[in-house]
Amino acid sequence: MSTVKTMPLTAAESESTLRKIKWRILPLLIILYIIAFIDRANVGFAALEMNAALNISAAQFGLVAGLFSIGYFLFEVPSNMLMRRVGARQWIARILVTWGIVAVGTGFVQDFTQLAIARTLLGVAEAGFFPCVILYLTFWFPERERARVVAMFMVALPIATLIASPLSGWIMDNIAWYGMDGWRWVFIIEGFPAIILAAVTLLVLVDKPGDAKWLTDREKAWLDDTLEAERQAKVERHGHTSFWKSLMGVKVLALALIYYSKSVAIYILAFFTPQIIAGLSERLTTTEVGWINAIPYGVAAVFMVYWARHSDKTGERRWHVAIPLLAAAGGLLLMPLFAGQLIPSMVLLTIITVAVYATYGPFWSLPSLFLTGRSAAVGLASINSLANLGGFVGPFGFGLLKDATGTTNWGLVIVSLVLLIAAGLVVGARFVRDAESLAKSAAIATKES
């Protein structure tokens, strides 16, 4: 608890403090995540020309697209633990520089093997960025703000595709500098901003509230006291979580499985949707495919913030994760019925995309209900790294099924079943119900006191 002897903040002052923090740290983090997702997902757009240029089959493309997740998985937990030791500011800057260099280098690959190596190295370079930021946000925001703050940060994902789809399409249709194909310039042009933003990160971010010169002593004391009280309450309710339980405990594995299902859907959408849209009409240019592909993500960016706000307002998490998963599963099951029809297919793709992205804010409020301190650093990284294996299995399996059957229909059906299982798990898991109930009771007690 803070030892600063100051007058406590009023409710209005505490809300003003939280708004100040949001405006100070969230815009940069959102921009960084936009660049991160563009650099990991733009291979889906480049594939419209790259696959033919490098003689890559659908199965091989699924493999190289998913290899990012293997590198990510192997280095995620160590990266997040180092972040706690080094500090968020320096560690995020290091991640930016390394992934930017690899992203730019991908534009110079000459065959399938080199592309596979580049994608694996990109995962290694970017490993730790997402859980690092999620952990970093817990240093600044109380639990009642977590879902909407995470959703505000993660609105970067649909915005990334909203930006990258038309941009990538335009680059491929219009840029062929120095005799290099447009798909190569997609990687080079979109990878370079990460290197520049590393310097911005060092200038703008601070590691913790105590280092923030733009917060007053009263504001720092209030935030310190609030977060410490929440930490102690979690320890009283759930006890201390050991390293191994936070790494591979039943609760962590269950949440990883739920998030895994979302990752399968997200990465298949990112990597294969441009090809699905291009296959709906032979008259579409690459630029037009880009603009059409951006539509679902624009809608998702708005809805995911609304959904997270509603979750925070009600204090309910489980159904705010399960309902979107059910909606996405239903949309995927209906997709084969409208194969070759542009407008109905786009309506369904919009529903699926919006639903999958809506889960982010409410989901990442679940681990913080029982993980604190070092266990939070390990647990968040473990959940994210295990779940992101879906980014390998999903695209690779989807590509294999497409090669074997000549259609994407079976892949869509299997992904929908994965989402249905995850929805049942998040609603039915007893520890999730109990943690949510205890958190609601604690929030009511705090208001009454």
Nearest Cα neighbor of 345 from 280, 289, 298 is 280
Angle between helices 58-86 and 373-387 (to 10 degrees): 170
Q: Which of 115, 130, 99, 299 is nearest to 192 (CA)?
A: 99
Token pair recorded at residue 443:
């929030």
The pair of structure tokens assigned to 397 is 């399996």
Residue that has been written with the tokens 């209906």 in this structure: 334
Cβ–Cβ under 8 Å, residues 348 and 273:
no
Task: Give per-10-residue mean pLDDT for the chain (449 aa).
Answer: 59 87 92 89 86 88 82 77 81 92 95 93 86 84 80 83 83 89 93 93 89 89 84 61 58 80 74 75 77 85 88 85 92 83 85 89 75 64 72 74 78 85 85 66 51
- Nearest-10 crossing angle of helices 286-314, 156-174: 170
In angstroms, the CA 119 to CA 94 distance is 18
CB atoms near residue 7 (< 10 Å): 9
pLDDT of residue 184: 95
Give 105's contacts (C-beta < 8 A, 6+ positions apart): 118, 191
- Which of helix, strand or coil describes residue 258? helix
pTM strictly above 0.75: no
Report phi then psi at 317, rounded to 5: -120, -45
For residue 69, give both structure tokens.
């997740």
In whole angstroms, what is the distance from residue 141 CA to residue 23 CA?
A: 13
CA angle 420, 398, 59 (to 5 degrees): 165
Q: State which H helix or E strand residue 267 sits in.
A: helix 250-278
Distance from C-alpha of 441 to C-alpha of 435, rounded to nearest angstrom:
10
For residue 310, the surrounding DSSP H or E stretch is helix 286-314
For residue 361, the number of C-alpha atoms closer than 13 Å in the C-beta half-sphere is 34
CB neighbour list of residue 288: distance below 8 Å, 6 or more residues apart? 169
Tokens representing residue 107 in the block: 């534009």
User: Which one-letter DSSP state was computed for residue 415?
Assistant: H
Q: Helix H segments across 175-216?
A: 182-204
Q: Are 157 and 303 in contact (CB under 8 A)?
A: no
Q: What number of CA atoms fall less than 13 Å from residue 6's CA on the CB side?
A: 16
CA dihedral over 118, 392, 364, 157, signed as positive or negative: positive
55: left (phi over 0), alpha (psi -120 to 50) or beta: left
In the chain, where are the structural domains located? 11-206+222-448
Query: Could you tell me which CATH number the domain at 11-206+222-448 has?
Result: 1.20.1250.20
Tell me, letter by letter, the H, E, C secondary structure of 321-387. Answer: HHHHHHHHHHHHHHHHHHCCCHHHHHHHHHHHHHHHHHCHHHHCCCHHHCCCHHHHHHHHHHHHHHH
